[in-house]
Protein backbone atom coordinates (compact mmCIF):
# COMPACT_ATOMS: atom_id res chain seq x y z
CA UNK A 1 0.00 0.00 0.00
CA UNK A 2 2.87 2.35 0.77
CA UNK A 3 4.26 2.06 -2.76
CA UNK A 4 0.95 3.17 -4.25
CA UNK A 5 0.87 6.11 -1.85
CA UNK A 6 4.40 7.12 -2.86
CA UNK A 7 3.54 6.98 -6.56
CA UNK A 8 0.42 9.13 -6.14
CA UNK A 9 2.23 11.52 -3.81
CA UNK A 10 5.22 11.95 -6.10
CA UNK A 11 3.02 12.50 -9.16
CA UNK A 12 0.98 15.09 -7.27
CA UNK A 13 3.90 17.01 -5.80
CA UNK A 14 5.89 16.92 -9.05
CA UNK A 15 2.89 18.24 -10.96
CA UNK A 16 2.35 21.05 -8.43
CA UNK A 17 6.06 21.94 -8.37
CA UNK A 18 6.40 22.11 -12.14
CA UNK A 19 3.15 24.03 -12.60
CA UNK A 20 3.97 26.59 -9.92
CA UNK A 21 7.57 26.82 -11.15
CA UNK A 22 6.42 27.72 -14.65
CA UNK A 23 4.13 30.46 -13.26
CA UNK A 24 7.02 31.93 -11.26
CA UNK A 25 9.36 31.61 -14.23
CA UNK A 26 7.03 33.52 -16.53
CA UNK A 27 6.01 36.24 -14.09
CA UNK A 28 9.26 36.70 -12.22
CA UNK A 29 11.18 37.80 -15.31
CA UNK A 30 9.72 41.31 -15.20
CA UNK A 31 11.04 41.79 -11.68
CA UNK A 32 14.60 40.70 -12.42
CA UNK A 33 14.84 42.68 -15.66
CA UNK A 34 14.99 46.19 -14.11
CA UNK A 35 17.33 44.92 -11.37
CA UNK A 36 19.92 43.87 -13.95
CA UNK A 37 19.74 47.16 -15.91
CA UNK A 38 17.53 45.67 -18.65
CA UNK A 39 20.14 43.15 -19.71
CA UNK A 40 17.94 40.55 -21.45
CA UNK A 41 20.48 37.77 -21.86
CA UNK A 42 21.70 37.92 -18.27
CA UNK A 43 18.10 38.04 -17.04
CA UNK A 44 17.12 34.97 -19.03
CA UNK A 45 20.17 33.11 -17.80
CA UNK A 46 19.60 34.00 -14.14
CA UNK A 47 15.89 33.24 -14.41
CA UNK A 48 16.63 29.80 -15.82
CA UNK A 49 19.23 29.14 -13.13
CA UNK A 50 16.70 30.15 -10.46
CA UNK A 51 14.09 27.84 -11.97
CA UNK A 52 16.50 24.91 -11.95
CA UNK A 53 17.47 25.62 -8.37
CA UNK A 54 13.83 25.80 -7.39
CA UNK A 55 13.05 22.45 -9.03
CA UNK A 56 16.04 20.80 -7.38
CA UNK A 57 15.13 22.16 -3.94
CA UNK A 58 11.46 21.22 -4.07
CA UNK A 59 11.69 17.85 -5.72
CA UNK A 60 14.52 16.89 -3.42
CA UNK A 61 12.54 18.01 -0.40
CA UNK A 62 9.46 16.12 -1.57
CA UNK A 63 11.54 12.98 -2.07
CA UNK A 64 13.22 13.29 1.33
CA UNK A 65 9.86 13.62 3.08
CA UNK A 66 9.00 10.06 1.98
CA UNK A 67 11.35 8.76 4.66
CA UNK A 68 9.05 10.03 7.41
CA UNK A 69 6.01 8.15 6.04
CA UNK A 70 4.21 5.79 8.39
CA UNK A 71 3.04 2.33 7.35
CA UNK A 72 -0.30 2.28 5.57
CA UNK A 73 -2.74 -0.62 5.61
CA UNK A 74 -6.13 0.81 4.56
CA UNK A 75 -7.48 3.10 1.85
CA UNK A 76 -8.54 5.58 4.49
CA UNK A 77 -5.00 5.93 5.81
CA UNK A 78 -3.75 6.18 2.24
CA UNK A 79 -5.94 9.20 1.42
CA UNK A 80 -5.27 10.83 4.79
CA UNK A 81 -1.51 10.50 4.67
CA UNK A 82 -1.22 11.58 1.02
CA UNK A 83 -3.23 14.70 1.73
CA UNK A 84 -1.28 15.53 4.89
CA UNK A 85 2.09 15.18 3.17
CA UNK A 86 0.98 17.10 0.08
CA UNK A 87 -0.48 19.81 2.28
CA UNK A 88 2.82 20.11 4.11
CA UNK A 89 4.71 20.46 0.82
CA UNK A 90 2.27 23.12 -0.41
CA UNK A 91 2.55 25.10 2.82
CA UNK A 92 6.34 25.00 2.60
CA UNK A 93 6.11 26.17 -1.01
CA UNK A 94 3.85 29.03 0.02
CA UNK A 95 6.22 30.13 2.78
CA UNK A 96 9.22 30.01 0.41
CA UNK A 97 7.22 31.90 -2.21
CA UNK A 98 6.23 34.76 0.08
CA UNK A 99 9.76 34.91 1.45
CA UNK A 100 11.10 35.22 -2.11
CA UNK A 101 8.66 37.99 -2.94
CA UNK A 102 9.71 39.88 0.19
CA UNK A 103 13.36 39.45 -0.81
CA UNK A 104 12.71 40.79 -4.32
CA UNK A 105 10.87 43.75 -2.82
CA UNK A 106 13.78 44.48 -0.46
CA UNK A 107 16.40 44.18 -3.18
CA UNK A 108 14.49 46.38 -5.61
CA UNK A 109 13.94 49.00 -2.92
CA UNK A 110 17.66 49.10 -2.13
CA UNK A 111 18.42 49.21 -5.85
CA UNK A 112 15.98 52.09 -6.27
CA UNK A 113 17.47 54.22 -3.47
CA UNK A 114 21.02 53.52 -4.69
CA UNK A 115 20.05 54.69 -8.20
CA UNK A 116 18.44 57.84 -6.87
CA UNK A 117 21.54 58.70 -4.86
CA UNK A 118 23.68 58.28 -7.97
CA UNK A 119 21.43 60.55 -9.99
CA UNK A 120 21.60 63.20 -7.27
CA UNK A 121 25.38 63.42 -7.31
Partner 1 sequence: MNTSLNLLAYFIYLPVVIILTWYVAHTLFRNSKAFMLDIFHGKADIALSTNKLFETGFYLLNLGFALLIMEIVADIYNSRSMLEILSYKIGGFSIYLGIMLFFNLYLFFRGRRISRERARLAEALKKIPGNDEIK
We find the least distance from the C-beta atom of residue 76 to partner 1, in angstroms, to be 5
We find the least distance from the C-beta atom of residue 53 to partner 1, in angstroms, to be 18
> Which residues of the shown chain bind partner 1 in the complex (CB under 8 A)?
20, 23-24, 27-28, 30-31, 75-76, 79-81, 83-84, 86-94, 97-98, 101, 119-120
Residues 6+ apart with CB under 8 A from 107: 35
Planar angle of CA 55, 38, 104, nearest 5 degrees = 50
Nearer to partner 1, 97 or 111 (CB): 97
We find the least distance from the C-beta atom of residue 108 to partner 1, in angstroms, to be 10
Closest CA to 2 of 88, 76, 84, 73: 73
Amino acid sequence: MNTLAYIIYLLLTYWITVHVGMIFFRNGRRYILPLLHDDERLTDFINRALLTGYYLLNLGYAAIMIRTWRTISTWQELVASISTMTGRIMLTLAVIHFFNMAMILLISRRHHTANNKNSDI
